[in-house]
Protein backbone atom coordinates (compact mmCIF):
# COMPACT_ATOMS: atom_id res chain seq x y z
CA UNK A 1 0.00 0.00 0.00
CA UNK A 2 1.24 3.41 -0.92
CA UNK A 3 -0.47 5.54 1.66
CA UNK A 4 0.34 5.05 5.31
CA UNK A 5 -2.27 5.61 7.92
CA UNK A 6 -1.09 8.10 10.57
CA UNK A 7 -4.31 9.29 12.17
CA UNK A 8 -4.36 9.23 15.94
CA UNK A 9 -0.70 8.30 15.87
CA UNK A 10 0.81 10.95 18.06
CA UNK A 11 2.68 8.41 20.16
CA UNK A 12 6.43 7.94 20.13
CA UNK A 13 7.45 5.68 17.27
CA UNK A 14 10.54 3.49 17.15
CA UNK A 15 12.13 3.29 13.73
CA UNK A 16 14.83 0.75 14.46
CA UNK A 17 15.18 -2.45 12.41
CA UNK A 18 13.00 -5.24 13.76
CA UNK A 19 15.83 -7.49 14.93
CA UNK A 20 17.35 -4.74 17.08
CA UNK A 21 14.09 -4.41 18.99
CA UNK A 22 13.74 -8.07 19.91
CA UNK A 23 15.16 -8.49 23.35
CA UNK A 24 12.75 -9.92 25.86
CA UNK A 25 15.11 -8.93 28.70
CA UNK A 26 15.24 -5.28 27.65
CA UNK A 27 13.05 -2.58 29.08
CA UNK A 28 11.60 -1.52 25.74
CA UNK A 29 8.00 -0.46 26.15
CA UNK A 30 6.61 -0.05 22.68
CA UNK A 31 3.32 1.78 22.56
CA UNK A 32 2.95 1.82 18.83
CA UNK A 33 4.29 -0.34 16.07
CA UNK A 34 4.19 -0.07 12.29
CA UNK A 35 4.65 -3.20 10.26
CA UNK A 36 4.88 -3.71 6.51
CA UNK A 37 4.45 -7.28 5.43
CA UNK A 38 5.35 -7.85 1.80
CA UNK A 39 3.65 -6.68 -1.39
CA UNK A 40 0.86 -9.23 -1.80
CA UNK A 41 -1.98 -7.35 -3.45
CA UNK A 42 -5.01 -8.21 -5.55
CA UNK A 43 -4.94 -4.91 -7.49
CA UNK A 44 -2.55 -3.13 -9.80
CA UNK A 45 -3.39 0.53 -9.43
CA UNK A 46 -1.95 2.84 -12.06
CA UNK A 47 0.03 5.02 -9.66
CA UNK A 48 1.45 2.03 -7.75
CA UNK A 49 4.67 0.07 -8.33
CA UNK A 50 6.06 -3.48 -8.35
CA UNK A 51 7.50 -3.11 -4.86
CA UNK A 52 4.08 -2.43 -3.38
CA UNK A 53 1.95 -4.75 -5.51
CA UNK A 54 2.68 -8.37 -6.42
CA UNK A 55 0.23 -8.05 -9.34
CA UNK A 56 2.21 -5.20 -10.83
CA UNK A 57 5.41 -7.14 -10.28
CA UNK A 58 3.90 -9.99 -12.31
CA UNK A 59 2.75 -7.70 -15.14
CA UNK A 60 5.57 -7.20 -17.70
CA UNK A 61 3.95 -4.09 -19.17
CA UNK A 62 3.30 -2.24 -15.90
CA UNK A 63 6.50 -3.36 -14.16
CA UNK A 64 8.42 -2.67 -17.39
CA UNK A 65 7.88 1.04 -16.74
CA UNK A 66 10.02 0.64 -13.62
CA UNK A 67 12.91 -0.91 -15.51
CA UNK A 68 12.82 -4.26 -13.77
CA UNK A 69 10.61 -6.80 -12.08
CA UNK A 70 10.36 -7.14 -8.32
CA UNK A 71 10.09 -10.43 -6.51
CA UNK A 72 10.05 -8.73 -3.15
CA UNK A 73 8.60 -10.88 -0.42
CA UNK A 74 10.18 -9.69 2.78
CA UNK A 75 7.35 -11.26 4.74
CA UNK A 76 9.23 -14.56 4.98
CA UNK A 77 12.07 -12.90 6.89
CA UNK A 78 10.16 -10.58 9.15
CA UNK A 79 7.06 -12.56 10.07
CA UNK A 80 8.67 -14.29 13.03
CA UNK A 81 10.43 -11.06 14.05
CA UNK A 82 7.18 -9.11 14.23
CA UNK A 83 5.35 -11.95 15.94
CA UNK A 84 8.06 -12.00 18.61
CA UNK A 85 7.93 -8.25 19.07
CA UNK A 86 4.18 -8.34 19.57
CA UNK A 87 4.51 -11.30 21.91
CA UNK A 88 7.23 -9.56 23.96
CA UNK A 89 5.70 -6.13 24.14
CA UNK A 90 2.47 -6.25 26.05
CA UNK A 91 2.52 -2.46 26.08
CA UNK A 92 1.53 -2.07 22.42
CA UNK A 93 -1.70 -0.13 22.10
CA UNK A 94 -1.49 1.02 18.48
CA UNK A 95 -0.66 -1.30 15.60
CA UNK A 96 -0.34 0.14 12.12
CA UNK A 97 -0.12 -2.27 9.20
CA UNK A 98 0.62 -1.82 5.53
CA UNK A 99 1.24 -4.13 2.57
CA UNK A 100 0.37 -4.81 -0.29
CA UNK A 101 -3.25 -5.09 0.67
CA UNK A 102 -3.11 -5.85 4.41
CA UNK A 103 -6.47 -7.58 4.61
CA UNK A 104 -5.58 -10.33 2.11
CA UNK A 105 -2.16 -11.15 3.58
CA UNK A 106 -2.36 -14.42 5.56
CA UNK A 107 0.61 -13.51 7.76
CA UNK A 108 -1.18 -10.37 8.91
CA UNK A 109 -4.14 -12.47 9.96
CA UNK A 110 -1.89 -14.81 11.92
CA UNK A 111 -0.60 -11.82 13.89
CA UNK A 112 -4.12 -10.46 14.44
CA UNK A 113 -5.37 -13.86 15.53
CA UNK A 114 -2.51 -14.20 18.03
CA UNK A 115 -3.53 -10.86 19.55
CA UNK A 116 -7.14 -12.04 19.77
CA UNK A 117 -6.20 -15.42 21.25
CA UNK A 118 -4.04 -13.78 23.92
CA UNK A 119 -6.87 -11.43 24.90
CA UNK A 120 -4.90 -8.32 23.96
CA UNK A 121 -6.86 -7.28 20.87
CA UNK A 122 -9.41 -5.45 23.02
CA UNK A 123 -6.63 -3.06 24.11
CA UNK A 124 -5.17 -2.47 20.65
CA UNK A 125 -6.10 0.20 18.12
CA UNK A 126 -5.57 -1.23 14.65
CA UNK A 127 -4.81 1.09 11.74
CA UNK A 128 -4.43 0.21 8.10
CA UNK A 129 -5.20 1.25 4.57
CA UNK A 130 -7.39 -1.05 2.52
CA UNK A 131 -8.55 -1.25 -1.08
CA UNK A 132 -11.94 -2.62 0.08
CA UNK A 133 -11.76 -5.75 -2.07
CA UNK A 134 -11.41 -9.40 -1.15
CA UNK A 135 -12.74 -8.85 2.39
CA UNK A 136 -14.71 -11.87 3.62
CA UNK A 137 -16.75 -12.40 6.77
CA UNK A 138 -13.87 -14.08 8.70
CA UNK A 139 -11.79 -10.94 8.19
CA UNK A 140 -14.58 -8.73 9.48
CA UNK A 141 -15.10 -11.00 12.48
CA UNK A 142 -11.40 -10.69 13.31
CA UNK A 143 -11.41 -6.91 12.99
CA UNK A 144 -14.44 -6.67 15.28
CA UNK A 145 -12.37 -7.98 18.20
CA UNK A 146 -10.09 -4.93 18.38
CA UNK A 147 -10.54 -1.88 20.57
CA UNK A 148 -10.75 0.36 17.49
CA UNK A 149 -10.16 -0.22 13.80
CA UNK A 150 -9.11 2.77 11.72
CA UNK A 151 -9.54 1.93 8.05
CA UNK A 152 -8.32 4.32 5.42
CA UNK A 153 -10.23 3.18 2.36
CA UNK A 154 -8.33 3.86 -0.84
CA UNK A 155 -10.68 5.30 -3.46
CA UNK A 156 -9.36 7.29 -6.40
CA UNK A 157 -12.63 8.04 -8.10
CA UNK A 158 -16.27 7.08 -8.23
CA UNK A 159 -17.58 4.03 -10.10
CA UNK A 160 -15.91 3.44 -13.51
CA UNK A 161 -13.12 5.92 -12.77
CA UNK A 162 -12.07 4.01 -9.68
CA UNK A 163 -12.29 0.72 -11.58
CA UNK A 164 -10.06 2.20 -14.27
CA UNK A 165 -7.39 3.57 -11.93
CA UNK A 166 -7.53 0.79 -9.34
CA UNK A 167 -7.67 -2.14 -11.78
CA UNK A 168 -9.25 -4.70 -11.61
CA UNK A 169 -11.46 -3.63 -8.72
CA UNK A 170 -15.25 -3.69 -9.02
CA UNK A 171 -17.15 -0.69 -7.67
CA UNK A 172 -20.13 -2.78 -6.55
CA UNK A 173 -17.85 -4.92 -4.39
CA UNK A 174 -16.21 -1.84 -2.90
CA UNK A 175 -19.54 -0.27 -1.96
CA UNK A 176 -20.68 -3.53 -0.40
CA UNK A 177 -17.45 -3.77 1.60
CA UNK A 178 -17.75 -0.18 2.84
CA UNK A 179 -21.29 -0.85 4.05
CA UNK A 180 -20.03 -3.89 5.94
CA UNK A 181 -17.11 -1.91 7.39
CA UNK A 182 -19.63 0.63 8.68
CA UNK A 183 -21.29 -2.19 10.59
CA UNK A 184 -18.11 -2.97 12.54
CA UNK A 185 -18.12 -1.91 16.18
CA UNK A 186 -15.58 0.84 16.90
CA UNK A 187 -14.69 1.32 13.24
CA UNK A 188 -13.35 4.72 12.21
CA UNK A 189 -13.48 5.04 8.45
CA UNK A 190 -11.97 7.58 6.10
CA UNK A 191 -11.50 7.81 2.36
CA UNK A 192 -7.86 7.97 1.24
CA UNK A 193 -7.82 9.63 -2.19
CA UNK A 194 -4.55 9.63 -4.12
CA UNK A 195 -4.58 12.74 -6.30
CA UNK A 196 -2.92 12.10 -9.65
CA UNK A 197 -3.01 13.36 -13.23
CA UNK A 198 -5.85 10.90 -13.81
CA UNK A 199 -8.39 11.95 -11.24
CA UNK A 200 -8.53 15.74 -10.79
CA UNK A 201 -12.17 15.56 -12.00
CA UNK A 202 -12.99 12.73 -9.56
CA UNK A 203 -12.30 14.72 -6.37
CA UNK A 204 -15.83 16.08 -6.06
CA UNK A 205 -17.64 12.86 -6.92
CA UNK A 206 -15.53 10.85 -4.48
CA UNK A 207 -15.90 13.37 -1.65
CA UNK A 208 -19.67 13.54 -2.23
CA UNK A 209 -19.86 9.75 -2.14
CA UNK A 210 -18.08 9.76 1.23
CA UNK A 211 -20.22 12.64 2.49
CA UNK A 212 -23.42 10.76 1.72
CA UNK A 213 -22.13 7.85 3.81
CA UNK A 214 -20.80 10.06 6.62
CA UNK A 215 -17.19 9.18 5.80
CA UNK A 216 -14.57 11.98 5.71
CA UNK A 217 -12.40 12.50 2.66
CA UNK A 218 -8.60 12.75 2.96
CA UNK A 219 -5.99 12.91 0.24
CA UNK A 220 -2.35 12.40 -0.69
CA UNK A 221 -0.61 13.49 -3.89
CA UNK A 222 1.33 11.39 -6.38
CA UNK A 223 4.91 12.63 -6.67
CA UNK A 224 6.36 9.40 -8.00
CA UNK A 225 6.07 8.12 -10.61
CA UNK A 226 6.37 11.73 -11.78
CA UNK A 227 4.58 10.93 -15.07
CA UNK A 228 1.37 10.62 -13.01
CA UNK A 229 1.79 13.71 -10.85
CA UNK A 230 -1.08 16.18 -11.33
CA UNK A 231 1.42 18.94 -12.17
CA UNK A 232 2.02 17.41 -15.62
CA UNK A 233 -1.51 18.47 -16.62
CA UNK A 234 -2.01 21.56 -18.78
CA UNK A 235 -2.87 24.84 -17.10
CA UNK A 236 -6.44 25.00 -18.42
CA UNK A 237 -7.26 21.53 -17.06
CA UNK A 238 -5.81 22.30 -13.63
CA UNK A 239 -7.76 25.53 -13.40
CA UNK A 240 -10.99 23.91 -14.61
CA UNK A 241 -10.66 21.19 -11.97
CA UNK A 242 -9.97 23.78 -9.25
CA UNK A 243 -13.09 25.75 -10.22
CA UNK A 244 -15.19 22.57 -10.16
CA UNK A 245 -13.91 21.79 -6.67
CA UNK A 246 -14.47 25.34 -5.38
CA UNK A 247 -18.04 25.24 -6.66
CA UNK A 248 -18.75 21.96 -4.87
CA UNK A 249 -17.18 22.57 -1.45
CA UNK A 250 -20.30 24.02 0.13
CA UNK A 251 -22.39 21.06 -1.03
CA UNK A 252 -20.53 18.88 1.48
CA UNK A 253 -21.65 18.50 5.08
CA UNK A 254 -18.45 17.14 6.63
CA UNK A 255 -16.09 19.97 7.59
CA UNK A 256 -12.89 17.86 7.39
CA UNK A 257 -13.81 16.97 3.79
CA UNK A 258 -14.42 20.64 2.97
CA UNK A 259 -10.94 21.49 4.27
CA UNK A 260 -9.36 18.78 2.14
CA UNK A 261 -11.13 19.96 -1.01
CA UNK A 262 -10.05 23.55 -0.42
CA UNK A 263 -6.46 22.30 -0.02
CA UNK A 264 -6.67 20.38 -3.31
CA UNK A 265 -8.04 23.43 -5.09
CA UNK A 266 -5.14 25.57 -3.82
CA UNK A 267 -2.66 22.87 -4.85
CA UNK A 268 -4.05 22.60 -8.38
CA UNK A 269 -3.92 26.40 -8.81
CA UNK A 270 -0.32 26.43 -7.62
CA UNK A 271 0.55 23.69 -10.15
CA UNK A 272 -1.18 25.75 -12.84
CA UNK A 273 1.16 28.68 -12.10
CA UNK A 274 4.29 26.56 -12.64
CA UNK A 275 6.34 26.55 -15.83
CA UNK A 276 4.49 24.16 -18.16
CA UNK A 277 7.33 23.59 -20.66
CA UNK A 278 9.40 21.49 -18.30
CA UNK A 279 6.57 18.98 -18.12
CA UNK A 280 6.43 18.16 -21.83
CA UNK A 281 8.63 15.08 -21.51
CA UNK A 282 6.58 13.83 -18.57
CA UNK A 283 3.40 14.53 -20.52
CA UNK A 284 4.63 12.24 -23.32
CA UNK A 285 5.41 9.53 -20.79
CA UNK A 286 1.99 9.95 -19.19
CA UNK A 287 0.28 9.38 -22.55
CA UNK A 288 2.46 6.39 -23.45
CA UNK A 289 2.07 4.80 -20.03
CA UNK A 290 -1.69 5.28 -20.08
CA UNK A 291 -1.98 3.78 -23.56
CA UNK A 292 0.30 0.86 -22.69
CA UNK A 293 -1.90 -0.06 -19.73
CA UNK A 294 -5.14 0.59 -21.62
CA UNK A 295 -4.12 -1.76 -24.42
CA UNK A 296 -2.81 -4.51 -22.16
CA UNK A 297 -5.89 -4.33 -19.87
CA UNK A 298 -8.58 -3.75 -22.47
CA UNK A 299 -9.41 -0.36 -20.89
CA UNK A 300 -9.96 3.07 -22.41
CA UNK A 301 -9.22 6.45 -20.86
CA UNK A 302 -11.83 8.05 -23.12
CA UNK A 303 -14.53 5.71 -21.82
CA UNK A 304 -13.51 5.76 -18.16
CA UNK A 305 -12.36 9.37 -17.64
CA UNK A 306 -14.38 11.35 -20.21
CA UNK A 307 -14.27 14.64 -18.26
CA UNK A 308 -10.48 14.57 -18.19
CA UNK A 309 -10.12 13.71 -21.89
CA UNK A 310 -12.59 16.45 -22.86
CA UNK A 311 -10.73 19.03 -20.79
CA UNK A 312 -7.34 17.99 -22.19
CA UNK A 313 -8.55 18.73 -25.73
CA UNK A 314 -8.39 22.46 -25.01
CA UNK A 315 -4.59 22.51 -24.89
CA UNK A 316 -3.51 19.08 -26.10
CA UNK A 317 -6.02 18.28 -28.82
CA UNK A 318 -7.51 14.79 -29.23
CA UNK A 319 -6.03 12.02 -27.09
CA UNK A 320 -2.90 10.63 -28.81
CA UNK A 321 -2.20 6.94 -29.36
CA UNK A 322 1.52 6.88 -28.53
CA UNK A 323 2.69 3.66 -26.96
CA UNK A 324 5.99 2.60 -25.45
CA UNK A 325 5.77 -1.15 -25.02
CA UNK A 326 4.94 -3.47 -27.90
CA UNK A 327 2.45 -6.12 -26.82
CA UNK A 328 2.89 -9.72 -27.97
CA UNK A 329 -0.31 -9.41 -30.04
CA UNK A 330 1.25 -6.45 -31.89
CA UNK A 331 4.01 -8.65 -33.26
CA UNK A 332 1.48 -10.44 -35.44
CA UNK A 333 -0.03 -7.11 -36.55
CA UNK A 334 2.83 -4.59 -36.38
CA UNK A 335 2.05 -1.26 -34.70
CA UNK A 336 4.36 1.68 -35.14
CA UNK A 337 6.07 2.64 -31.92
CA UNK A 338 5.79 6.36 -31.30
CA UNK A 339 8.59 8.27 -29.66
CA distance 68 to 175: 35
| Ordered DSSP codes for 70-89 | ----THHHHHHHHHHHHHH-
CA distance 281 to 232: 9
Q: Tally Cβ neighbours within 10 Å of residue 11.
A: 12
Applying CB under 6 A, among 32, 63, 131, 299 the residue interacting with ligand SF4 is 131
Distances (CA, A) of 177 to 24, 50, 133, 157: 39, 26, 7, 16
Smallest separation, CB 167 to ligand SF4 (Å): 9
Answer for the pair 181, 188: CB distance below 8 angstroms, yes or no: no
Binders of ligand SF4 in range 13-52 (CB under 6 A)? 41, 43-45, 48, 52
Select 121 or 165, whichever has its Cβ closest to ligand SF4: 165
Select 100 or 216, whichever has its Cβ closest to ligand SF4: 100
Smallest separation, CB 194 to ligand SF4 (Å): 7
Contact call for residue 1 and ligand SF4 (CB under 6 A): yes
Contact call for residue 100 and ligand SF4 (CB under 6 A): yes
Select 170 or 337, whichever has its Cβ closest to ligand SF4: 170
Applying CB under 6 A, among 2, 109, 180, 259 the residue interacting with ligand SF4 is 2
Smallest separation, CB 174 to ligand SF4 (Å): 11
Smallest separation, CB 230 to ligand SF4 (Å): 17
Applying CB under 6 A, among 101, 202, 211, 294 the residue interacting with ligand SF4 is 101
CA 249-253-259 angle, to 5 degrees, is: 50
Nearest of 158, 101, 156, 172 to residue 130 by alpha carbon: 101
Select 45 or 127, whichever has its Cβ closest to ligand SF4: 45
Smallest separation, CB 254 to ligand SF4 (Å): 24
Helices first, then strands: H and E counts in the chain:
15, 6
Contact call for residue 72 and ligand SF4 (CB under 6 A): no
CA distance 302 to 281: 22
User: Where does this chain bind ligand SF4 (CB under 6 A)?
Assistant: 1-2, 41, 43-45, 48, 52-53, 100-101, 131, 154, 166
Amino acid sequence: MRMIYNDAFALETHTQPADTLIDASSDVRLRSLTITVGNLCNLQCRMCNPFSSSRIAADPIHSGWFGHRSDRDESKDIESAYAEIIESCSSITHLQISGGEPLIIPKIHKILQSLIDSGRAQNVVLMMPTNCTGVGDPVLARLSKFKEVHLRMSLDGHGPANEYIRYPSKWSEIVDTIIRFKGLPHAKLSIGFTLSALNVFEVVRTAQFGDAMGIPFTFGVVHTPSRLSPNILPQATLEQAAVEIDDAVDSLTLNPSKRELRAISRLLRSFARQDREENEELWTKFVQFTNDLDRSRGQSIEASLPDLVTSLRVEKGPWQRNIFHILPKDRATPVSKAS
